[in-house]
Amino acid sequence: MQKKIRLGVDIGGTFTDVVLETPDSLTSKKILTTCAAPEDAIIEGMHNVCSKAGISVSAITRIIHGTTLATNALIERCGAKTALITTEGFRDVIEMRTESRFEQYDLNLTLPEPLLPRNRRYTIRERVGARGDVLRPIDRAEVEALADRLLAAGYESVAVGFLHAYANDAHERLVAEVLSEKMPDTMVSLSSEISPQMREYERFNTTITNAYIKPLMTSYLSRLRDRLAAEGADCPIFLMHSGGGVMSIENATEFPVRLVESGPAGGAIFAADIAARHGIGKSLSFDMGGTTAKICLIRNQVPETARVFEVARTYRFKKGSGMPISIPAINMVEIGAGGGSLAHVDAMNQIRVGPESAGSDPGPACYGRGGQKPAVTDADLVLGKIDPKNFAGGAILLHADKSARALNLVVGEKLDMDIAEAAWGLAEVVDENMANAARVHAVENGEDLSEYTMIAFGGAAPLHAARLCEKLGVSRCLVPAGAGVGSAIGFLLAPFSFEANRSVFMRMSAFDPVEVKRLFVDMEAEAASFVHSCDAAAEIFKDYKVYMRYAGQGWEIPVGLTATQAENPDAETFQRLFEKDYVKLFGRAVAGMEAEIVVWSVSVYTPTRKPCTVSTATTCAAPPVTGLRDLFDPGISRRVDASIIDRSAFRPGLTAPGPAVVTEDETTIIVPSSREIFNHSDGTLDIRIKKEGTP
């Protein structure tokens, strides 16, 4: 039997991480993202790890890929020239939003700009009713005339969103047909396919997002497949999706909106695995890369999930200030705070950082590639957190003088600060931004962060994690082995999974066991065939769920079913299960009210690996110190001599007091004076508050 050799690849805004897993080794490499052709970095990284591991590229049996290219295109608004075709009278759904203010007390509130400006939104006379009946037929000639206008304007992609298309997709399909004749090179996204759910604002926005990034992602994925094949990696390629599972490249091409937050989803899976290994009930995953930081709550070792999430929040990370996307996703906040985030001084003489990012080209000033503005990495370098000769495993030689010049020019001169003070200010602002985002996210989820353990990974996180813990009152932070490439490792841990859904309304009084049985059998077959197409021999698990509510409510709750209950359905059992869960969630059932089923779901997935448990035997012995580094410690507002420790010489069971810097190929771990650092048997570093009496 062929040995399983898998490659995990995560493209971030700044770095591309590649991880190769063989039955007995894990090899990783960090390379600068190559924006113009992101596949170049993958090819380079793949050759690098293969030669390190001593295998041939053709021996790779599977590639699993995730990327923030889609998310970044949304935040930076650099997607395709896209048009929306919608129902006459509803041109402004995505601009009018919910007609409310997400912050009620700010008289100077600014609403986010819609993804498509008004002149790129077109209407057609047609109308489908709430029951899916046609109230006003669509006229093919009108669609053809509109297609001519869109062709003349040179649109690359078109989103189609008609009212109630989730109940009847005929009009959307007709438009797709006309467009494929009139403008065959233009990509089309239909709301009835992308997100067939009621509530037009979320559905249209999700569809537009899909359309907006589709040309970019399609061309990228097809180039990637060709290049990999040309280089000898002719194995199946899978994509990480926002829900934390894996899907085929064909599905990803059709539904690129599902790639939004796919990289971060891999990170959450990675963190959940670490939490399981260490038996931690409440953990906060903190993933900071070159462009953004992601924060996710993980309870009982399972990442929080949501059916609607928001990308690109514009106002102090506040709920409602971004764009809603209605697809299944791991629930996290993402903010424009990464190593590459650029700083400026605003009109009120405040230092602001991000969301604009230097990316990998030109990159922060210290890369010496022509960047003139100071980035977070520049501040980290000046503060002594990074070794200029060993950044990203020596991939780039950093220039501290260039950082200093940029900091002085953009921040120092304006605010009359010396370079060190400017760097401190910049780093404190970005840390405070992240701490606020974490607090808001915790409050929205009714949680108190002080009970949480942070799990930090991604290239920039270990540089900032301990300071963040100080700000949030979090007493413990884990930095796992492979922290620099955590998301890519997460891809390898993710199961093949597919969730089949149907929107079929059914009241308990009209419960039809034969129909229900048929629905489940259909969905099961669909989901299982997908998973088996990824791995024909895989052992599979199935979860059955219905989303139920009292007839007349607007929001459903998930009700889990056993295989037996799904195979032999009856109304009484369903009502009883619903009321039991309803009482568990809300404390009280509504007497005498009829329940209904709104959404049906079967999820098929392969088992996840059992995490190995960790021994935590501790000694007082300290790891070898190879030198001292001049480090600025913001917690006590002064420079200190930090011990330099090489992570590869930091044996399990040893403890070192802060201030210290632990260096490794992909990142550096900063331990402030208030903390100490301990190494677990799995190589996870544990940064915790110093015990009394420790120097």
Binding segment toward another protein, per CB under 8 A, in 291-299, 306-314, 424-432, 445-453: 445-453
CB 354 within 8 A of CB 335: yes
Q: Residue 693 — φ and ψ, nearest 5°?
A: 85, -10
CA–CA distance, 79 with 216 (Å, rounded to integer): 7
| Smaller CB separation from another protein, 100 or 349 | 100
DSSP structure class, residue 586: H
Q: Which helix (H) or strand (E) holds 602?
A: strand 595-605
Binding mask 524-563 for another protein (x = CB under 8 A): --------------------------xxxxxx-x------
CB of 316 to another protein, least distance (A): 11
Cβ closer to another protein: 2 or 100? 100
For residue 453, the minimal CB distance to another protein (Å) is 18
Contact with another protein (CB under 8 A): which of 1, 2, 36, 154? Answer: 154
Considering only residues 65 through 124, tell me which ones interact with another protein, judged by CB under 8 A.
81, 83, 88-93, 95-96, 98-101, 104-111, 117-120
Taking the C-alpha atoms of residue 386 and residue 400, their distance in angstroms, rounded to an integer, is 10
Q: Is 148 in the site for another protein (CB under 8 A)?
A: no
Nearest to 214 by CA among 203, 226, 225, 206: 206
Cis, bond preceding 355 (omega within 30 deg of 0): yes
CB of 203: closest distance to another protein in angstroms?
8
What is the torsion angle, in degrees rounded to the nearest 10, for the CA atoms of residue 411, residue 414, residue 419 and residue 425? Answer: -50
How many degrees, rounded to 5, is the angle at CA 303 between CA 297 and CA 306? 90
- Rounded distance between C-alpha atoms, residue 32 and residue 377, angstroms: 14
Please give the residues from 229 up to 288 whose contact with another protein meets the rule CB under 8 A: none
Nearer to another protein, 37 or 130 (CB): 130
C-alpha to C-alpha distance for 372 and 358, rounded to whole angstroms: 10
Q: Residue 2 or residue 105: which is nearer to another protein going by CB?
A: 105
CB of 326 to another protein, least distance (A): 12
Using the minimum distance from each CB to another protein, give the nearer residue, 485 or 577: 577
| Residue with Cβ nearer another protein (300 or 564) | 300
Distances in Å between the alpha carbon of 277 and those of 267, 273, 285, 542, 654? 15, 6, 14, 24, 19
Q: Which two tokens stand for residue 688?
A: 């915790």
Spatial contact of 561 and 544, defined as CB atoms under 8 Å apart:
yes
For residues 133 and 401, which CB has a smaller minimum distance to another protein in the complex? 133
Neighbours of 567 (CB within 10 A): 14
Q: Judged by CB under 8 A, does residue 130 bind another protein?
A: yes
Cα–chain-centroid distance for residue 424?
29
Q: How far is the CB of 455 from another protein (least distance, A)?
A: 22
Q: Distance between CA 95 and CA 323 in Å, rounded?
A: 11
Listed ranges 249-257, 365-373, 437-445, 534-542: which one lies at the site for another protein (CB under 8 A) = 437-445
Number of amino acids touching another protein (CB under 8 A): 61
Q: How far apart are CB 469 and another protein at their closest, in Å? A: 16
Closer to another protein by Cβ: residue 200 or 310: 200
Q: Which of 149, 518, 580, 609 binds another protein (CB under 8 A)?
A: 149
Q: Residue by residue, what is the 3-state secondary structure of 39-82?
A: HHHHHHHHHHHHHHHCCCHHHCCEEEEEECHHHHHHHCCCCCCE
Instruction: Give just the sign of the alpha carbon dihedral 313, 314, 318, 321.
Output: negative
| Residues in region 588-647 near another protein by CB under 8 A | 588, 590-591, 593
CB of 319 to another protein, least distance (A): 9
CB-nearer residue toward another protein: 89 or 627: 89
Residue from 29, 30, 62, 127 binding another protein (CB under 8 A): 127
Q: Do the Cβ atoms of 64 and 496 come closer than 8 Å? A: no
Site track for another protein across 181-220, x = CB under 8 A: -----------------xxxx-------------------
83 versus 365: smaller Cβ distance to another protein: 83
Note the residues at the interface with another protein (CB under 8 A). Answer: 81, 83, 88-93, 95-96, 98-101, 104-111, 117-120, 127, 129-130, 135, 149, 152-155, 163-164, 198-201, 442-444, 446-448, 450, 550-555, 557, 586-588, 590-591, 593
